[in-house]
Structure 1
Amino acid sequence: MTTLDVFRAPESVAVVGATDNPAKWGHWLARGAVAGAHRRRVHLVNARGGQVLGRRSHPHLDTLPEVPDLVAFAVPASVLAVGVRDAVALGVPGLLAITAGIEDEAAIGDVIAASGTRLLGPNCLGLYDASSELELAWGRFTPGALAVVSQSGQLGLEIAGMAADAGIGVSRFVSVGSQLDVCAAELLADLAHHETTRIVAVYLESFGDGERLLDALDRLREAGKPVLLLTVGASKAARQAARSHTGSMTSGIDVVDAACRTVGAVRVDTPSQLIDTAQLLMRCAPVRGRRIAIVADSGGQGAVAADTASRLGLTVAEFPPEVQERLAARLPSHAAVANPVDLAGAGEEDISTYASTPAVLADTCVTDAIVLSGYFGSYGRDIPGQQAAESEVARAIGSLAAERALPIVVHSMAEHTDTVGELRSAGVPTFTDIEAALRAVETAHRFTQAPRPRVPHASAAKHRVAPGAGYWAARGLLADAGVPFPAAVHIAPGTPDPRAAMRSLSAPVVLKADWLEHKTEHGGVATGLHDADALGAAYDDMVARLGSHGYVVEEMDRRTDVVEVIVAARRDPSFGPVVVVGAGGVQAELTQDLALELAPCSHDTARAMIRRLRSWPLLSGWRGSRPVDADALAAVVVAVSQLIADRGDLGEIELNPVRVSPEGALAVDALVIATAALDSPPRT
């Protein structure tokens, strides 16, 4: 038995705090434990002894006839620590602690860490395993194939309940609570070999060791078990703490999305979207593309479906003439045979039309999924004499989807009818909301996209960057990493006359205050200086306003067809280094057009990030301008990603702007912040 087997298939269970009072946790745990008494030995512990649920209870753990594999505590916070110590002293392998409101969780953690006992919780809602009939949780569960691992017990119960309503049920439910010992990553990795689990639903509010979590999600992907992740919060606090512009514009959600892309998981926004997608994944063939065919028995419903699909990023392409001709041959003359298809009453004349029309589309390879929208599912309810025929069509739709390995999704005006049940039994997902149906199609499609390659990154710094390093030092560090910069000269603090710098540079030049993090905001940049006198005047002005510090004189980029881009990197507390590319310049925070991935990244990943930007048309040649060298920009992204990954002493890197033209990329400002400097105020 592995260390986690006691939470999945224990041979004996004890419930401490068992009671007959149905308003208390001890009753629900005891009831669930007793329900599995035919699978394992069950012991109930109640300090007063006597009978609980018609069974003998024991006053204390040490009065049990054996040391149980798993002990579940439903006791007040004030006595949990004593109970844990007693269980550890007896050598109990696994503990489940429901108890919340504990003043000193760390003390319990210390007891567990010094023992061989594993603890799930505290502050959790328990666990359930359908295959072993282990139920130690509040609520009731319907067996199925969806595993639920949730940091919020109640939200996990909501997901489990919604799964039951959708007819897919739960294979395993674990509320992780405070994760004082057993963590979500361990439980997820354990599900890779859980035979009854086909899909995994995860709700997390914090991610802890992100690398360990990614390893677990990788295992699930390799086992062919899609992971749907629900999380919350764009980490406002993290954005406020960032020193770079990019750090303040990217959020924890951006990083989670990048992590999901890396391991092939998919983040969802709501429990409903999670269950809708799980239903589709459970019942359908993979959605291999974004092309959608819509078949409706109402012009209005078809139009709404088409608009919704387009808004969700699905493609509603008009069918080619030969496909329209085949449809027209089977439908009334006034039917619409483009996309969406309007049956125009054909289903009322011949209910088999609901199956024969999708069959035509399935034969033509014009779509990656078919959505049937409208009244189907309601005939048997409203006209009982048609139930048999409608059920037969439902089975035909299911057979068609299975034979052609083509997802067919039904949006029905009916919710709980015999036909809806027939559709689901036949492997056809059904929805009462068209947006839910189409969003599930779009979300499921994301699972067919290849995961990003994971590249190991450094866990500690081999070097140290000075916390107060300015632009000149940042230039040198980044140039050594492969980032191109214009030619420049450094002017040391206290230099009375900077004009000698012009001898080695080509005019015009730019004067920059070396030490300022955000130079433009403080008047620390002077551009278009065409001669030594102009440089001297700008220098005297800056020294008078900003002080006698170090300055940089740099050749001004005069290339045409230039687009300004931001390239940056930072270190996420859970998932480590990340890299960002986006629209740059002084309007970067206004547009907030960014793409983020875990670092380091490959050149192909960098190119894909660039193409994701809303501003990609500006880079690829907008209104007659020449396309910029996107490969040169991608090389900068890769260099920055590798630098942040290799150097654990670097907390943030920002190049803004990187000026990209058809002739290549040049970084003309750089900010490097040491990890040690992130807690100090910015230099102004």
Structure 2
Amino acid sequence: LTGSARRAVHLVTRGGGEILGTPTAASLSDLPEVPELVAFCVPAADVPAVVDEALALGVRGLLGITAGVPDESALAARVVASGARMIGPSSLGLFDAASSLRIAWGDFPSGALAVVSQSGQVGSEIALLARRAGLGISRFVSVGGQADVTAADLLEDLADHGLTRAVGVYLESFRDGRRIFDAVRALRAAGKPVVLLAAGGSEAGARAARSHTSALTSPMELVDAACRAAGAVRVRTPSALVDVAACLLADSMPAGPRVGIVSDSGGQGALAADRASRRGLSVPELSEPVVSALARSLPGGAATANPVDLAGAGERDLGTYREVTAALLCSGEVDSVVLSGYFGRYGLDSPALAAAELRVAGELAETARAAGRPLLVHSMGADSDAARVLREAGVPVFATIETATDALAGAVALQAHPGRPLAVAGAAEAPEGTGYWAARALLSEAGITFPAARRVRDAREVARATEELRAPYVLKAGWLEHKSEAGGVRIGLHDTPSAVRAFTAMRARLGDGPYVLEEQDVRPDVTEVIVGGRRDAGLGPMVTVGAGGTEAEMHRDTVTECAPVGLDLARAMVRGLRCAPLLDGWRGRPAADAEALARAVVAVSGLVARLTGDRVELEVNPLRAGPDGVIAVDALLLTDRDDTALDTKETI
């Protein structure tokens, strides 16, 4: 009966009697007072009656532990109509350190990490791992079925929760994704960064996608984009969530990616540097003054350029750990320091050194605090008393170098992405027309350049169009999404007779329809790129840039962000592509106009953000980027207004 000293706690069970020496009531109506909160764990069939009885008495808080409750939505509707709120059903419970409220399985030491979890078991694992890492819990909520109270509700409420300094979240769905990430953005603004663990990244939807953009963007890529826009970071495991949280709850955050590495083993230092580099951290070579200062504290021949190898100096004097670490932390040449190796194990293997190691552990923590830069420790004795002293003083300790560097990389990523507003200038309806011509018109108005073209429906119009356009020509069946597979595109038509013959043959196979004759882009030294946008049902509008053409799915070289994006972010998206060197000028080729490409990304992102409707897919593929600008030679628009093909998809 945790919390009974602060509030009245009553037990209700159908049979009455006593439980663990505490009297019970046979029903809620038999209680001497109306409770503020009722937690119910009864057979699923009995839940509606229990909830109705509670609501009739005036109860305003409900916690549903029971799983398999019939007609949860109707139950939640009655709760809300009564002015009450309900967490669950299928919740594993809740804990709040500020009010000493614990209705959950397990022990929750008080601390600064809030845990909101769609799975009670995963949430419990996170809380247990946090305890082992020396982190306490400020609030724990297993959201369960979210029939009423949702994860977004709980995240919004944490912004004003005094004990919470960081938030760990586990979610399996993002049906209310935009509100969830608005809450994450508010938490970040309140100085409470969020670490997200997510599951359910099925590729089934991508396999069924009708546009390249949807096929190329996995669910987790969209979640990652939402995290960056909101100022959160996504991790892959419960332990990684706790590791990153430990960095976030330290006395200081890394100001950048530069890391100094100190080790009492050359091998461990090298492994630490390799792992840090693979995780996107920088291991800069130290300047000559810093190297010289380090050399004065170390044996001759010790590595001092970064990573720094103590070369046995730690065994001779444990204070060397403090001296070398302090020199790096105060050098101004690194943003954080990772100490890797044996420190933390001396007292375990040589009890005579235990007191000295504990003293140095405290000094290390104080040194980091004074320097205002984070210190992370990878220790072969991660469960030792020295490790405990470090953790209690705000220095995270890890059992492996992988977890230490991964946690630091997560904290650095958070600093690099503080979140950004997603302001949209007005709204616009998708055009009534269908086909490539409608998509082309919409994109042209947004600033995307297309070759000159004419709509044609018979051979006479084809011949007339050749007199108005510049050869060579391209003929397209403008209503098809998958033109290449259907034989709905012909290129390299050099004169009127060839254009008419191509049209006659194509119409004989595909039938009447809105065909398009277009000038073919024959510029040399172009790179084909895809720029597309989509409105995700849960997460909102997204924009993607990537390697384009008919092989776009094969290359899978894309960068996705929440739309709309500004020019700086669009430039960064282009630079982030693996194919970016092709745009910069590959093996003597002239560089493409990357600035024009970035402007096209901005234009498409703004358009997809403005278009109304639950379903919007907008795509230019390929967008041909050359030294003299970018030209779109095919486009696709799909909306919920018309579930048939609204325009072309495949590339020429």
Coarse TM-score class (shorter-chain normalised): over 0.9
Counterpart in the other structure of 2:491: 527
Give the alignment partner of residue 161 of structure 1, picking from 116, 125, 128.
128
Give the alignment partner of residue 335 of structure 1, picking from 302, 305, 311.
302
Which shows bigger deviation, 276-285 or 563-572? 276-285
Superposition map of 1:519-598 within 5 A = 519-598=483-562
SS at match of 1:260: helix
Superposition map of 1:259-658 within 5 A = 259-457=226-424, 462=429, 465-466=432-433, 469-492=434-457, 494-495=458-459, 498-649=462-613, 651-658=616-623
Point out where structure 2 has 5 or more consecutive residues left out of the alignment: none
SS at match of 2:411: helix
Counterpart in the other structure of 2:41: 74
Give the alignment partner of residue 672 of structure 1, picking from 637, 648, 651.
637
* Counterpart Cα distance in 1 of 2:470 and 2:367: 71
* Counterpart Cα distance in 2 of 1:249 and 1:446: 24
1:198 corresponds to 2:165: yes
1:153-183 deviation digits (Å, cap 9, x = unpaired)? 0000000000000011111100000101111
Q: TM-score, normalised by structure 2?
A: 0.96
Q: Does structure 1 conserve the Cα–Cα contact (< 8 Å) formed by 2:276 and 2:283? A: yes
1:185-242 deviation digits (Å, cap 9, x = unpaired)? 1111111111111110001111222232122112211110010011013232321332
* Counterpart Cα distance in 1 of 2:136 and 2:241: 13
SS at match of 1:447: helix
Q: CA offset at residue 313 of structure 1?
A: 1.1
Q: Does structure 1 conserve the Cα–Cα contact (< 8 Å) formed by 2:262 and 2:338? A: yes
* Counterpart Cα distance in 2 of 1:520 and 1:606: 30
CA gap of 1:463–1:442, structure 2 versus 1, over 3 A, is closer
CA gap of 1:215–1:404, structure 2 versus 1, over 3 A, is same
* Counterpart Cα distance in 2 of 1:283 and 1:638: 38
CA gap of 1:553–1:252, structure 2 versus 1, over 3 A, is same
* Counterpart Cα distance in 1 of 2:645 and 2:571: 35
Give the alignment partner of residue 50 of structure 1, picking from 14, 17, 22.
17
CA gap of 1:617–1:516, structure 2 versus 1, over 3 A, is same
* Counterpart Cα distance in 2 of 1:623 and 1:394: 54
CA gap of 1:457–1:210, structure 2 versus 1, over 3 A, is farther
Q: CA offset at residue 678 of structure 1?
A: 4.3
Which shows bigger deviation, 338-347 or 208-217? 208-217
CA gap of 1:339–1:487, structure 2 versus 1, over 3 A, is same
Give the alignment partner of residue 660 of structure 1, picking from 614, 625, 628.
625
* Counterpart Cα distance in 1 of 2:431 and 2:520: 31
SS at match of 1:498: helix
1:225-265 deviation digits (Å, cap 9, x = unpaired)? 01001101323232133210110111221111111111111
CA gap of 1:683–1:365, structure 2 versus 1, over 3 A, is closer
* Counterpart Cα distance in 2 of 1:126 and 1:136: 5
Q: Does structure 1 conserve the Cα–Cα contact (< 8 Å) formed by 2:543 and 2:561? A: yes
* Counterpart Cα distance in 2 of 1:345 and 1:71: 61
Q: CA offset at residue 311 of structure 1?
A: 1.1
* Counterpart Cα distance in 2 of 1:105 and 1:133: 29
Q: Does structure 2 conserve the Cα–Cα contact (< 8 Å) formed by 1:459 and 1:648? A: no
* Counterpart Cα distance in 2 of 1:683 and 1:370: 53
SS at match of 1:144: strand
1:272 partner amino acid: S
1:551-583 deviation digits (Å, cap 9, x = unpaired)? 211111122321111011111111121111111
- Give RMSD over aligned pairs: 1.9
Give the alignment partner of residue 186 of structure 1, picking from 150, 153, 166.
153
SS at match of 2:4: coil
1:83-131 deviation digits (Å, cap 9, x = unpaired)? 1111111111111110001232122123123211111100110101112
Counterpart in the other structure of 1:6: none
Which shows bigger deviation, 669-678 or 171-180? 669-678
Give the alignment partner of residue 59 of structure 2, picking from 80, 88, 92.
92
SS at match of 1:327: helix
Which shows bigger deviation, 318-327 or 527-536? 318-327
1:675 partner amino acid: D
Counterpart in the other structure of 1:14: none
Q: TM-score, normalised by structure 1?
A: 0.91
Q: Does structure 2 conserve the Cα–Cα contact (< 8 Å) formed by 1:570 and 1:579? A: yes
Q: CA offset at residue 451 of structure 1?
A: 3.5
SS at match of 2:608: helix
Q: Does structure 1 conserve the Cα–Cα contact (< 8 Å) formed by 2:357 and 2:386? A: yes
Q: CA offset at residue 359 of structure 1?
A: 1.8
Superposition map of 1:121-200 within 5 A = 121-200=88-167
Q: CA offset at residue 550 of structure 1?
A: 2.3
Q: CA offset at residue 364 of structure 1?
A: 2.2
CA gap of 1:452–1:554, structure 2 versus 1, over 3 A, is farther
Q: CA offset at residue 464 of structure 1?
A: 5.0
CA gap of 1:420–1:134, structure 2 versus 1, over 3 A, is same
SS at match of 2:62: strand
* Counterpart Cα distance in 1 of 2:233 and 2:642: 35
* Counterpart Cα distance in 1 of 2:301 and 2:600: 58
Give the alignment partner of residue 257 of structure 1, picking from 224, 227, 236.
224
1:294-343 deviation digits (Å, cap 9, x = unpaired)? 11111111111111111111112222333222222221113112221121
* Counterpart Cα distance in 2 of 1:49 and 1:409: 54
Q: CA offset at residue 401 of structure 1?
A: 0.6
CA gap of 1:319–1:456, structure 2 versus 1, over 3 A, is closer
Q: CA offset at residue 624 of structure 1?
A: 2.4
Which shows bigger deviation, 617-626 or 436-445? 617-626
1:217 corresponds to 2:181: no
CA gap of 1:136–1:677, structure 2 versus 1, over 3 A, is same
2:517 partner amino acid: V
Q: Does structure 2 conserve the Cα–Cα contact (< 8 Å) formed by 1:651 and 1:678? A: no
